[in-house]
Amino acid sequence: MPIHILPPDVADKIAAGEVVERPASVVKELIENSLDAGATDIRVEIRGGGKRLIRVIDNGCGMSAQDATLAFQRHATSKLRDAADLEHIETLGFRGEALAAIAAVSKTTLITRSADEPVGIELKLESSELVARRSVGGPVGTSITVEHLFWNTPARLKFLRTDATEAGRISQIITRYALAYPEVRFAYVTEGRLAFQSTGSGDRMETLMKVYGHEIAREMLPVEEGEDVIAPGIRVSGFVSKPSLHRANRRYIELFVNRRYIQDKNLTFAVVRAYHTMLPEKRFPIAALFIEMAPTEVDVNVHPTKAEVRFRQASLVFRAVQRAVHRALVEHSSVVGLGLEPEEGSRAMWAARREPEQRPEEPDQLRMDLMQAGLSTEPDSKQSRAEVGSASEIAATRGGAKLPPLRPVGQVSAMFLVAEGPDGLYLIDQHAAHERILYEKIVAAGENPIPTQQLLEPMVIELGTQLAGAVAQHLPTLQQSGFDIELFGGGSFLLRGVPAFMSGQDPRRLLEEVADGLSERADLVGRDREDALVRIICKRLAIKAGQTLSLAEQRELLRQLEACENPLTCPHGRPTILHFSARQLERQFGRT
């Protein structure tokens, strides 16, 4: 078959397919043009899910009659002059393809007027062909109406979803830009009904409430804007959900670079990673994060729809995002429950009531007294904080989520501790709390391994070739966790000692469970795999549900939980503690 040049209309339709995938693509391109034009009020109207009609009206600077005609030519733009400008793009649009692509697959009407001209101009196009032109009156700004999208490309039209689905995608586009530009007033009208409207007040939290609703917005934590010392020139701000608020997938993590919405798997992973051990497995947070950096440090010209970008120093951006989110979680996290702010009177009463409890520990505390195992939790401990696995990422910041001093009251179902604090009642899951304590001790051990209790006689443990391989791969971590273990040939190991706080645990069964757990997580590598090992060990060694604790043991468990860096969740993300304020209890008993 001989080579030939495609007709212009065919070439335009092919090019349009790269930019205009669906009605939401049209809305995105037109909103970006409005924002670049300095609009402070943008109204989007649709019918038929955007397939029948899309209209975007703004109060931007508008266009002159001459520019309006040129705007529908391919690669016509006012935002670039030469190739050097690609190095520091500060506008949302820059390629000059959007209007040409939209006009190629629809019936388009443009009405615009600039402040320098007494009247505006109206242009009508069908399949890129100008069919009508006239002068019109109107305010400064631009109105673009796109009708019968894909009317001349039925193959593309039949792949669109239902009207409701396409309208939902458009809504997502609008709310993203409303979050990125809180100073702009957005209105979204579908089928003649106002579906969304932001105030344009400039208050991002106010916009957040409009987008997510009051219930979710109340559960969001602010990420304060600040320049990271490790990543100078990169500022991260926005909102992230508390660990108690999560979703089944990553779709609720919204990322913006210089107020441009982007999709980046690495940065999404950085957000999830910041919640390390705070979320249940396969659950993900809600986030709206805004990354600001010099335009020269990011390349936005790598994707037809500009949804992906390339960073000059991707690792620094990753660290800046992770550290900013983790800092917000640590500084603003609180105990799960219905608590209210404590009153000074209740604090004073608590101090007086807790004082008698400060007495020497009873000797029967040995069963779970980790202090006897050499695992000091005092604030001034000289214990090393060297990195172990992903420990440095967990301990990026200090302070914040600390528990008040708690006084043990008793135990429920040999499973939960009941404790009193300065601002009410606390219920503690003893297994989850002990998991958190063990996890932080192993992670913080560094060059000071957890003390080992030597066995009277070394034990040879046969695991078989498959399971033995998983254990052999992580012998250093096991040794750091208090196991004196070495290879003994084949699938066997020689165990000489166990962690000092194992309290009679069956070491053979423990190693088998560790090996089984590692085999199930074969998809993990590197630090993730080591961290999974530590969590498996903690789960196996922690106090079990059904284990009765003396009052002294309860007190010791609470004291060590108070000293934890992140006492509110176990390493698997489950809550360790629930809180009910004294005022809430009074209401429940009808005393207020």
Write the DSSP string, 63-105: --HHHHHHTTSTT--SS-SSGGGGGG--SS--SS-HHHHHHHT
Which CATH number fits the domain that encloses residue 187?
3.30.565.10
Task: State whether 348 and 319 are in the same domain.
Answer: no
What pLDDT does 90 receive? 73
Q: Token pair 């830009």 is at which residue?
A: 177
Looking at the structure, tell me whether residues 257 and 346 fall in a common domain.
no
Q: What's the predicted TM-score (pTM) here?
A: 0.65
Q: Give the CA count within 13 Å in the CB-facing half-sphere of 581.
A: 14
Is residue 208 situated within a structural domain?
A: no
Mark which of 300, 332, 364 sits at the end of a domain.
332
Inside any domain, residue 213: no
Give yes or no: residues 124 and 18 share one domain: yes
Query: Residue 292's closest CA among 353, 233, 349?
Result: 233
Whether residues 321 and 340 share a domain: the answer is no
**b/e sequence 417-428, b meaning 16+ C-beta within 10 Å:** bebbbbbbbbbb
Task: Give the residue numbers spanning the domain of 274.
Answer: 219-332
Q: What is the pLDDT at residue 382?
A: 35
Tell me whether strands 336-337 and 577-580 are parallel, antiparallel or unpaired: parallel
Residues 148 and 235 placed together within one structural domain of the fold: no
Give the model's pLDDT for residue 546: 83
In 3D space, the residue among 432, 243, 203 whose CA is nearest the CA of residue 326 turns out to be: 243
Q: Which of 26, 35, 27 is nearest to 183 (CA)?
A: 35
- Shared domain check, 500 and 404: yes
Task: Tell me how many domains the chain contains.
Answer: 3
Q: How many helices (H) and strands (E) does the chain have?
A: 19, 23
Task: Please compute Rg for the chain using Cα positions.
Answer: 31
Which helix (DSSP H) or strand (DSSP E) does residue 527 occupy? helix 526-541
Q: Is residue 210 situated within a structural domain? A: no
| Same-domain status, 320 and 350 | no
Same domain? For 539 and 414 the reply is yes
Q: Is 394 exposed, middle or buried (0-12, 13-18, 19+ CB in 10 A)?
A: buried
Domain assignment present for residue 1? The answer is no
> Has residue 2 been placed in a domain?
no
pLDDT cut 90: percent of the chain above it: 39
Q: Which distant-in-sequence residues (6+ apart) come within 8 Å of 176 by Cβ?
A: 254, 256, 261
Domain identity same for 551 and 591: yes
CATH number for the domain that contains residue 225: 3.30.230.10
What pLDDT sits at residue 332? 75
Per-residue confidence (pLDDT) for residue 278, from 0 to 100 = 85
How many beta carbons lie within 10 A of that of residue 348, not counting itself?
A: 11
Residue 177, token pair as written in the block: 């830009």
Q: Residue ranges of the chain with pLDDT lower than 70?
A: 1, 4-18, 76, 78-88, 93-95, 226-229, 303-305, 333-401, 445-450, 464-467, 469-470, 490, 501-505, 512-530, 533
Please report how the helices 430-445 and 551-562 are oriented relative to each other, as an axis angle in degrees rounded to 10: 50
Q: Does 70 share its domain with 84?
A: yes
Domain boundary among 307, 332, 357: 332
DSSP letters along 206-217, please?
HHHHHHH-HHHH
Same domain, 384 and 328: no
Q: Is residue 425 part of a domain?
A: yes
The last residue of a domain, from among 285, 302, 332 = 332
- Pair (479, 503) in one structural domain: yes
